[in-house]
Structure 1
Amino acid sequence: MCGMPQQPPVRSTPASRPARPDASMSLLTNVMDHSLDDGYAEAAARRKSQGEEGGLPKTLRAKLGLAGGLVLAALVVTVGAAQARVAAPVVAKERQELLDRIDRETETADKLEGSVDKLRDDVSARQRAALRQSGGSGPADLVGILSGATAVHGPGVKLVVNDAKEATTGGDGNPRTTSGFSDTGRVRDRDMQRVVNGLWAAGAEAVSINGQRLTALSAIRAAGDAILVDNKPLVPPYTVLAVGDGKKFSSRFQDGADGLYLHALEESYGIRADISVASDLRLPAAPSVIVRTAQPSTEKGTS
C-alpha cells in the first residue's frame, strides 16, 4: 500500500541568545572594561585607606605646616629683637635725661627751701628785736610758740605709733573697715587725729608728727592709704613729739579717752604704740604760718 511518505518528526531547538553588536570587537571591549590595571587599582585603594590626598600624607603635611609656623615665629622674634636693640640706646638715653632732670629740679627745690628757711628765720629775728624795743617780747614769744611760728624745745613725751606686724582684712561691718581702708591693722588718719587731740587736751604746748609741726590750722587727712599732714604725706612709723609737763603730761594723756582709744587699737588690732618721757625735745617751726589779720596795739598813756 502506498501511503504518504512518513516525515521525520521535527525536534524543537531552544532559542539561541542574540549576538552582541560588538561581538566582533572583543579586544576593544576588553580594553575599555579594564582600562585600569588591577595593580594600579590596588595602589589607589591603599593610598586612600592611608589618608593620602593630593599626593602627600596628612602627617607629612602637618609636619610641614608646623615647620612653617616655627620659621615664621622665629622670624617675628628675630625682627622684634633687632628693633629692641635699635631702640634700647634711645630709651636708655631718655631715661638718663629724665633722671638728670629730676636731680636738677630736686637740687633747685632744696636750695629754694633753704632760702625760705633763712628768710623766715631773719623775719622772726627782726620781729623779736622790734618787740623787745617796744617792751612786748614776752607775749609775742608765747604767741609764736602756741601758733607754731617759733621753734621750741623742752620736756615732753615721745609717742611712736606704727602699723600692726600682721594686719587682718576687714569687711565684717566693723567701723574701721568703712572708711575706704581694707586693712584694719593700719593706722588711719582719724587715729592720728584722736592721738593729737588727746595730747593737746592733756596740756601739750607744741606737737609735731615726723618732724612736721602742727598749728591751729593743721589738717590730718587721708589720700588713699597715705596719711597727710598739711598736704604732706607721712610714712609709718609715726613719731609724735609733744612738749609738755613731763611725767604728769604723759599720765594725763594715757588716762584720758584718747589714750584709752589708742590702747584699744593695740589690744584689738595689733597696732603698735610706744610712749616715753623725754627731758628735752626739739620741735621745728611750722613752715606755713601766715599772718592773716593784724591790729596795732594801743600805746600806753593814751585814752
Structure 2
Amino acid sequence: MSLLTNVMEHALDDGYADAARRRGRYGTSRMPGTLRGKLALGGGLLLAALVLTVGAVQVRASAPVAAKERQELIARVVTAQANADQVQQEIDRDRARQKQLQQQAKSNGTAAEDTARLQLLQLVSGAGAAYGPGIRVVMDDAVSAGTDGGSNPRTAAGFSDTGRVRDRDVQLVVNALWQSGAEGIAINGQRLTALSAIRAAGDAILVDNHPLALPYQLDAVGGAGLADGFRQNVDGGVYLDQLKADYAIRFSISSEDRVDLPAAARSGLQYATPSGRGGATP
C-alpha cells in the first residue's frame, strides 16, 4: 500500500523533479507572461473561434439548399416515372382495344373484308408488323471514309467527307423505294410512317430522332416488280451506281423471298378540323 501511495502522490520521478528545479521551471506555468505574448495567444484563439464559427454558419446555410435540390430531383424522378406509367397504361389500353376490334371484325358478317381492310391500314400506316416478299438495300461508307467495323456515326469524324453516306442519300433511296411500289419500309429495324423524318445531326443520320449505325439496311415489302423497278429508278439503283462510281460508296441490292418489318413506334394522332372557309386544315 505504501508503494501505491507513493506512486499516486509522486507521479513525477524525483530525478525529473530535481532537473526541473535546477532549470527553475518546476511548478511554473507555460502561459505567456508578457502582455505581448498574452495578446498574441488571445488573437490566435479569437481567429480559431472565428474560423470555426464561419464554417458552422456556411454548413448551416448550405444544408437547406442541398435538401431543396434533393427534393427537386426526387420530385422530377417521381413525375417522370408517373408519366412513363401513364404512357404504358395508354399503350396497354390501345392494344386491348385493337384486339377487341379484331375479334369483333372476325365475329360479324363481313369479317374477311374488315380483316383485310384492317391489315391494309396497318401495313400502309406502319401501325402493325408486316412481312412478305420484298427487297433489301444495304448502304455503307467508302472504305476511305474510315468508318468500317460498324462504328457509330456520332463518334466518327469527317461527315463532310464525300465518301460518307449522307441523310440526303438515304432520303432519295427511300423515296425511290416508295415510287417503285414498296408497301412498307424499315431502316435498321425502324419502321417508317407518313410522319417519319430522315435528317442529319452532326455526324449522325437520324430516323425519327434515333441515330443509325453503319451499315444502313433498308428493308422493303412490295410486289414482284419492286426490285426491278428500284434498280431502274433514277433515285434508286441508278443513283447508287453513281455514288459508287464517284465516291466509292458501297451498296448492295437483293431480292428477298420474305422481309419482316416491325411495327412503328407509337406516335400521337394528327387530326383535321374544318376551317372557317369550308376547307380542312391539318
**TM-score, normalization by structure 2:** 0.56
Residue in 1 that maps onto 2:98: 124
Residue in 2 that maps onto 1:258: 235
1:96-111 to structure 2, matched below 5 A, reads none
**Residues 131-176 of structure 1, C-alpha deviation per residue, up to 9 Å, x if partnerless?**
44553332222111100001100000111111111139xxxxxxxx
**Aligned mate of 2:187, from 209, 214, 226:** 209
> Structure 1 residues 285 and 230 mapped into 2: Cα distance closer, same or farther (>3 Å)?
same
- What is the Cα deviation at residue 267 of structure 1? 1.0
**Aligned mate of 2:174, from 179, 196, 213:** 196
Distance 2:207 2:103 in 1: 32
Residue in 2 that maps onto 1:145: 123
CA contact (8 A) 1:167 1:270 kept: no
1:255-294 to structure 2, matched below 5 A, reads 255-259=232-236, 260-293=238-271
Larger radius of gyration: 1
1:160 is aligned with what amino acid? Answer: V
**Residues 72-122 of structure 1, C-alpha deviation per residue, up to 9 Å, x if partnerless?**
xxxxxxxxxxxxxxxxxxxxxxxxxxxxxxxxxxxx9xx979988766544
**Residues 220-274 of structure 1, C-alpha deviation per residue, up to 9 Å, x if partnerless?**
010001011011111110111000124x211100101112111111111011101
> Structure 1 residues 254 and 137 mapped into 2: Cα distance closer, same or farther (>3 Å)?
same
**TM-score, normalization by structure 1:** 0.52
1:219-230 to structure 2, matched below 5 A, reads 219-230=197-208
- What is the Cα deviation at residue 127 of structure 1? 3.0
Secondary structure in 2 aligned to 1:205?
strand
1:209 is aligned with what amino acid? Answer: I
Structure 1 residue runs of 5 or longer lacking an equivalent are 1-107, 169-179, 296-303
Find out whether 1:218 has 2:192 as its counterpart: no
CA contact (8 A) 1:162 1:237 kept: yes
Aligned identity (percent) is 45
Distance 2:172 2:127 in 1: 23
Secondary structure in 2 aligned to 1:160?
strand
Residue in 2 that maps onto 1:242: 220
CA contact (8 A) 1:220 1:227 kept: yes
Structure 2 residue runs of 5 or longer lacking an equivalent are 1-80, 147-157, 274-282
The alignment covers a number of residue pairs equal to 177
Distance 1:264 1:196 in 2: 16
Distance 2:268 2:105 in 1: 18
Distance 2:168 2:247 in 1: 15
> Structure 1 residues 121 and 284 mapped into 2: Cα distance closer, same or farther (>3 Å)?
farther
Provide the alpha-carbon RMSD of the alignment: 3.1
Secondary structure in 2 aligned to 1:258?
coil
1:185 is aligned with what amino acid? Answer: G
- What is the Cα deviation at residue 291 of structure 1? 3.4
Secondary structure in 1 aligned to 2:194?
coil
1:195 is aligned with what amino acid? Answer: V
Residue in 1 that maps onto 2:142: 164
CA contact (8 A) 1:167 1:269 kept: no
- What is the Cα deviation at residue 181 of structure 1? 3.9
